[in-house]
Amino acid sequence: MATLETSFAGLKLKNPVIVSSSGLTDSAEKNKKLCEAGAGAIVLKSLFEEQILMETDKAQDAYASPEGSDYMAAYIRQHRLSEYVALIAESKKRCDIPIIASINCYDDAQWVDFAKQIEQAGADALEINILALQSDPQYAYGSFEQRHIDILKHVKNTVGIPVIMKLGDNLTNPVALIEQLYANGAAAVVLFNRFYQPDIDIEKMEQSACNVFSTEADLPKALRWTGIASAAVPRMDYALSGGVHTPEAVVKAILAGASAVEVCSSIYRQGPAVIGEYCGFLRQWMERKGMESIAQFKGRLNRGDAKGASTFERTQFLKYFAAHE
């Protein structure tokens, strides 16, 4: 029988389906149900630097004295971290699969100390999200990528657990950054994080939020860069995130070079049972193709394949439209 076991970021997973960071993973009880549904690993809901800073700013505004403001700011930071540490510890008690902590940040001022406490709480790995738009007219080219490297270095100097970098898709050359992340100790990368999607309500004439869920249309972008990066930096582990809405997408991700997939929107829409459906399909496909392990076909159709460069690096539709006159 085909085995679904895979290795990701130095962790042994019973299957490649990871539940990604979201409201699905914000309590130990929810995580227990996801574990029972067959998840290979769980990424806890992120600890957001931006949210902590907003809360501390509000608290500081309420106090006239600098001493009172500083006290409240420190209290809020520690309270949020204490809640998160408790989530890690309780999830580890209830789940027998890897529990991956997640922090969402845009500088490295607070995260070194936070990362250490996260490790001490028992997290099996730490996923770092550095998600921000670069819109400053005075932006220095490359500084956003360097911020990833700097934060990774500081965290790696503090913790011994695997550090996973979840990248946004707003990078000029993800492969060049991935090469540097590998050189500085990243255990894996996830392609890609999902931005908040804005919209405009034309009747109310105000900004609004677009659909928060991904769609199948998001899959090709992640497939492209997984296929390119896994061939260019093969020693790095990859997880594909975004657009995994069918069991076939799991197979595609592995063929492109991913060791695992992160799933969120499809679980919101279909429930935890979808995890078992994806794993069942994957096993059936492997047995039908004579595959006994994930390693046998991981990356078989990445850019290193004879047709990979044409498939993954093509940016124009000329060939397609030439055949559809």
Q: Which of 43, 34, 6 is nearest to 267 (CA)?
A: 34
At residue 292, the pLDDT reads 98
- CA-CA distance, 307 to 321, in Å (whole number)? 19
Task: Express each pLDDT in 276-298 by its tens digit.
Answer: 999 999 999 999 999 999 999 99
As a dihedral over the C-alpha atoms of residue 96, residue 166, residue 8, residue 99, rounded to 10 degrees, the angle is -10
3-state secondary structure the chain: CCCCCEEECCEEECCCEEECCCHHHCCHHHHHHHHHCCCCEEECCCEEHHHHHHHHHHHHHCCCCHHHHHHHHHHHHHHHHHHHHHHHHHHHHHCCCCEEEEEECCCCCCHHHHHHHHHHCCCCEEEEECCCCCCCCCCCCCHHHHHHHHHHHHHHCCCCCCEEEEECCCCCCHHHHHHHHHHCCCCEEEECCCCCCEEEECCCCEEEECCCCCCHHHHHHHHHHHHHHHHHCCCCEEEEECCCCCHHHHHHHHHHCCCEEEECHHHHHHCCHHHHHHHHHHHHHHHHCCCCCHHHCCCCCCCCCCCHHHHHCCCCCHHHHHCCC
Q: What is the pTM of this model?
A: 0.90
Task: Express each pLDDT in 206-223 by its tens digit.
Answer: 998 877 788 899 999 999
- CA-CA distance, 186 to 118, in Å (whole number)? 17
Q: Are 144 and 134 in contact, with CB atoms under 8 Å apart?
A: yes
What would the mean pLDDT of 24-38 be, rounded to a whole number? 98
Residue partners of 122: CB distance under 8 A and separation at least 6: 88, 89, 92, 99
- The pair of structure tokens assigned to 69 is 């403001």
For the ranges 161-170, 175-184, 196-205, 282-291, the lowest mean pLDDT is seen at 196-205
Q: What is the mean pLDDT of the chain?
A: 88
Q: Which of 236, 221, 262, 261 is nearest to 22 (CA)?
A: 262
Cα dist from 275 to 18, 172, 190, whole Å: 9, 33, 19
At residue 165, the pLDDT reads 98
Q: Is the C-alpha dihedral spanning 250, 253, 258, 261 positive or negative? A: negative
Which domains, and CATH codes, for the chain?
Answer: 6-322 (3.20.20.70)
At residue 20, the pLDDT reads 97
Q: Which residue has the higher pLDDT, 172 or 161?
A: 161
At residue 197, the pLDDT reads 76
For the ranges 26-30, 58-62, 172-176, the lowest mean pLDDT is seen at 58-62
Burial of 166 (0-12, 13-18, 19+ CB in 10 A): buried
Question: Confidence band (pLDDT; 50, 70, 90) for 191?
Answer: very high
Task: Express each pLDDT in 225-268 by its tens digit.
Answer: 999 999 999 999 999 999 999 999 999 999 999 999 999 999 99
Would the pLDDT of 71 be above 90? Answer: no
Token pair 């260019």 is found at 232
